[in-house]
């Protein structure tokens, strides 16, 4: 896929999510659930268990 088209598609998706709160909340919820289900299925490495005080919550 052309880089220009890919950039346009990503930009349109981000704009859609910024304007549509219910779609944004659903996406974040889905990603959060996916990440938490993956967390239990794979062993965590010491780097993943470190301090997360620098991260932020959306």
Residue-wise pLDDT tens digits, 11-57: 999 999 999 999 999 999 999 999 998 876 655 555 555 555 555 56
pLDDT of 38: 83
> Which residue carries 């996406």 as its tokens?
27
- Given CA atoms 35, 36, 40, 41 in this order, what sign does their dihedral have? negative
- Whether 58 maps to a domain, the answer reads no
Number of domain units in the chain: 1
pLDDT of 15: 95
Euclidean distance between CA atoms 17 and 45, whole angstroms: 33
- Whether 8 maps to a domain, the answer reads yes
- Whether 49 maps to a domain, the answer reads no
The range of the structural domain enclosing residue 10 comes to 3-37
Of 52 and 9, the structure prediction assigns the larger pLDDT to 9
Tokens of 19: 């304007």
- Whether 42 maps to a domain, the answer reads no
Where b means 16+ CB within 10 Å and e means fewer, 4-36 reads eeeeeeeeeeeeeeeeeeeeeeeeeeeeeeeee
- Whether 18 maps to a domain, the answer reads yes
- Whether 26 maps to a domain, the answer reads yes
């Amino acid at each position: 896929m052309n880089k220009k088209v890919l950039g346009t598609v990503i930009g349109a998706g981000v704009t859609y999510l910024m304007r549509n709160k219910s779609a944004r909340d659903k996406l974040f919820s889905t990603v959060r659930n996916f990440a938490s289900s993956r967390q239990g299925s794979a062993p965590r490495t010491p780097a993943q268990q470190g301090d997360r005080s620098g991260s932020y919550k959306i």
